[in-house]
Amino acid sequence: MPAQTLAQKLLAAASGRASVAPGDIVTCRVDLAMFHDSSGPRRLKPMLEALGTGIWDRDKVVLVMDHYVPEADDESRRIVRIAREWAAEQALPHVYDSMGICHVVVPEHGHIRPGMLCVGGDSHSPTGGAFGAYMFGVGSTEMLGVVASGEIWVRVPETLMMQWDGVLSPGVTAKDMMLHMIGRFGMNGGRYQAMEFCGEAVRALSMQERMTLSNMSAEIGSQVGLVAPDEKTVAWLEAAGVPGVDIAPWHSDAGACAERYRFDAASLAPHVAAPHSPANSRPVGDYGRTAMQVAYIGACTGAKLEDLRAAARVLKGRRVAAGVSLMVAPASARDQRQAESEGVMAALVEAGATVLPNSCGACSGYGGSIPEGANVIATTARNFKGRMGPRTAEVYLASPYTVAAAAVAGHIVDPREMLQ
């Protein structure tokens, strides 16, 4: 059998084949379908009724209420009500209501495991690739087919192998790695291929940092962003109540055909992406003293437990600069509780942060927390015009370290200066 990449092995297993080759079109068995209040019931319910079919396997469906909670107006109340009523009507066993962002809540409950093929009703669904699962986003029509049949066809992609050598320096994160790669290759650099992250620096990353890498593979145009599972993956799943996971098969074979790139983690500086694209990414030192009025620590790429800890390392014992509004929206209720028990949330609040609900919030333009015309530095994944609400806002993307440092300084600054 020819040497196979991790992406090929996952698609071969899902399609019941011994091996697959790039360009093959295969029909895959779906192990998990995830959708949220925005992408799910309000669209799927009428289509399923029109089709006259039900859900192929309720135990393989996960619904998360995260985009329109807490409900702030009649339209959001309508959307969330539809989701809640449909979940009760269908007796869905896996529903997470107002507990955090889907890309964080679903993995922390052990739903995503090595070897699975998963789809999500959200473009950042490639987050699941951090666990050695083939997970990608689909639209409502494709999700309808999955929910009705439990299957989906996939064109086997070629693999881009992103090898990171060395070790990141303190204050440099997976977010900086991704911003550097997007800045180099652009938002279509992945060409809808499979991207696999490997090398010493990737192995050194925690699971939450790997989740950020996989998540933002969407911004580089890749269908999936994969990390081969290891002992860290096993430990995470054991903590999530999933013991005994077999990771042995899920790695790329030596000699597997892939387009390969190498990066030096040790020399990487913190990066910032200027408006209005993640591809406008440059080292933090290129920005001078660009003033900020809002610092936002939130979203699936910037408000997990380890992100909150990073921000607290900068903010502890300091105060937010005059004229800067610091907002923190922890990515999940579980992570917020842990951050509270460690004193992390107290450090953020004492520095002047306003704590927002565990939801997508301003990252998806909901909640009205971003003022018109503001310069915003955010831990979110995207900075398209109007993405965070006002089209007049100028949004810069950065890591939690860099966002926290900008909140203290009042302008973009290298966070490493505050970690001495």
pLDDT in tens, the chain (420 residues): 799 999 999 999 999 999 999 999 999 999 999 999 999 999 999 999 999 988 999 999 999 999 999 998 999 999 999 999 999 999 999 999 999 999 999 999 999 999 999 999 999 999 999 999 999 999 999 999 999 999 999 999 999 999 999 999 999 999 999 999 999 999 988 788 999 999 999 999 999 999 999 999 999 999 999 999 999 999 999 999 999 999 999 999 999 999 999 999 999 999 999 999 999 999 999 999 999 999 999 999 999 999 999 999 999 999 999 999 999 999 999 999 999 999 999 999 999 999 999 999 889 888 778 999 999 999 999 999 989 998 999 999 999 999 999 999 999 999 999 997
**Bridging pattern class, strands 271-273 and 281-283:** antiparallel
d(CA 179, CA 16): 36
Question: What is the homologous superfamily of the domain 272-418 according to CATH?
Answer: Aconitase, domain 3 (3.30.499.10)
- What's the pLDDT score for residue 1? 79
Residue 356, Ramachandran bin (φ over 0: left; ψ between -120 and 50: alpha; else beta): beta
Q: Which helix (H) or strand (E) holds 105?
A: helix 102-108
- Give me the pLDDT at residue 367, please: 76
C-beta separation of 87 from 79 below 8 A: no
Q: What's the chain's Rg over C-alpha atoms? A: 21
Q: Contact, 378 vs 397, CB < 8 A?
A: yes
Asked if residues 60 and 29 have their Cβ atoms less than 8 Å apart, the reply is no
Report the distance separating Cα 272 and Cα 53, nearest Å.
47
pLDDT computed for residue 251 by the predictor:
98
DSSP summary character for residue 5: -
d(CA 213, CA 127) in angstroms, rounded, equals 8
pTM: 0.97
C-alpha distance from residue 123 to each of 48, 128, 213, 387 (Å): 22, 12, 14, 14
**Domains of the chain, residue spans:** 6-264, 272-418
What lies within 8 Å, CB to CB, of 73 at 6+ separation is none
Contact 415, 404 (CB under 8 A): yes
Instruction: Kindly give, in sequence order, each residue whose CB lies less than 8 Å from that of residue 38, ignoring residues fewer than 6 positions away.
Output: 67, 68, 79, 364
Strands 194-198 and 271-273: unpaired
Which pLDDT value is given to residue 191?
81
User: Judging by beta carbons within 10 Å of its beta carbon (0-12, 13-18, 19+), is residue 118 exposed, middle or buried?
Assistant: buried
User: What integer pLDDT is reported at residue 315 of this predicted model?
Assistant: 98
Fold equal for 6-264 and 272-418: yes
Nearest to residue 74, comparing CAs of 63, 66, 82?
82
Domain 6-264, CATH number (from 3.40.50.1100, 3.10.290.10, 3.30.499.10, 3.30.470.20): 3.30.499.10
Residues in the chain: 420
Residue 377 has a pLDDT of 98
